[in-house]
Structure 1
Amino acid sequence: MMAYLEITLKVEEHNRAKAAEVYGRFKDPFLKKVSGARSKELLVRDEDVQVLHGFDTVENAVAYTKSQLFQDDVVVALKPLLAAVPEIRFYQVA
């Protein structure tokens, strides 16, 4: 079983490199410290930036969004770069 947390970020083009830096800074701690974490990918499109997090369960994906790493570190680092409220979606793959 696999689950995904997809976060879509509206980031202006001039802030995309900074958003990628935030992704890079927190990828390793995410993979090493977050329960059930399996993968983390950055998808850059013309209209937005998506971060796709792989987990073993949806419950662990949801728990991550409530964690100190996410709330106090990732969100705080990204907030000044965002042009809109992020879209957060959870998926489960059977």
Structure 2
Amino acid sequence: MAYLEITLQVDPGDRSAAAAVYAKYKNPFLDTVPGATSKELLVRDEDVQVLHGFRSAADAQAYLESDLFTRDVTSGLSPLLQAAPEARVYDSV
């Protein structure tokens, strides 16, 4: 099991729009991305995080290079971001 954590700096006033992007692409992510097992939206006062579950770290890395992420998700979120997103891949042992 592996996880991809993407941290997004989104103004509180834009968080509902960011949540809409998350909701729009959650099922396509789960249905079409190889190795995808889960996707959760985590909201804190200081940022928003999207936690993705995968069968392997290689699957997580491949998603970061996929059209779904680079073209669709990124273009939907870009106008809402205050800073570049931080992506981290974790491999569970």
Give me the TM-score of the superposition, normalised by structure 1. Answer: 0.98
Segments ≥4 residues shifted beyond 6 Å: none
1:18-76 deviations in whole A, cap 9, x for unaligned? Answer: 00000000000000000000000000000000000000000000000000000010000
Partner of 1:45: 44
> Residue 34 of structure 2 aligns to a residue in which SS?
coil
Unmatched 5+ residue regions in structure 2? none
Partner of 1:4: 3
Q: How far, CA to CA, are the matches of 1:82 and 1:15 in structure 2?
A: 9
Q: How far, CA to CA, are the matches of 1:72 and 1:90 in structure 2?
A: 20
Considering only aligned residues, what root-mean-square deviation do their CA atoms show, in Å? 0.3
Partner of 1:75: 74
Q: How far, CA to CA, are the matches of 1:87 and 1:65 in structure 2?
A: 12
Give me the TM-score of the superposition, normalised by structure 2. Answer: 0.99
Task: Report how many residues are paired.
Answer: 93
Q: How far, CA to CA, are the matches of 1:61 and 1:21 in structure 2?
A: 22
Partner of 1:35: 34
